[in-house]
């Protein structure tokens, strides 16, 4: 995953971020943190499968977010369907 694609995820899902040795990002919904991920500040590709697993997404779901077909509300629905966010 390219750095630009990671930033698309951050913006689309409205992830909170903090920069330290790495760029940490987490998904917060109604005051509760549900998923976390991070990326290195180094240049180059990122381990897409790790980011996808940390965000609890399948490959088609991740592709939908990066490809502009899924947004924050869709992500909340995905996490609800998977039982991560309780209704």
Residue ranges making up the domain that contains 25: 3-81
**Total tally of structural domains belonging to the chain:** 1
pLDDT at 79: 92
Question: From CA 73, how far away is CA 87, in angstroms rounded?
Answer: 14
Question: SS in 3 state form for 10-78?
Answer: HHHCCCEEEECCEEEEEEEECCEEEEEEEEECCCCCCCHHHHHHHCCCCHHHHHHHHCCCCCHHHHHHH
Instruction: Please state the pTM of the whole predicted model.
Output: 0.80
pLDDT over threshold 80, residue 55:
yes
In a domain, 65, yes or no: yes
In a domain, 66, yes or no: yes
Any residues with CB less than 8 A from the CB of 84 and at least 6 apart, and which? Answer: 34, 35, 56
Q: What is the pLDDT of residues 6-53, one digit of tens each?
A: 888 888 889 999 988 888 899 999 888 899 888 877 765 678 888 888
């Amino acid at each position: 995953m390219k750095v630009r694609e990671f930033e698309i995820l951050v913006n689309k899902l409205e992830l909170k971020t903090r920069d330290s040795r790495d760029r940490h990002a987490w998904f917060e919904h109604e005051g509760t943190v549900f998923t976390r991920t991070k990326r290195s500040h180094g240049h180059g590709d990122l381990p897409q499968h790790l980011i996808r697993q940390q965000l609890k997404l399948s490959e088609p779901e991740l592709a939908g977010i990066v490809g502009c077909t899924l947004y924050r509300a869709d992500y909340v629905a995905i996490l609800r369907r998977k039982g991560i966010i309780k209704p």
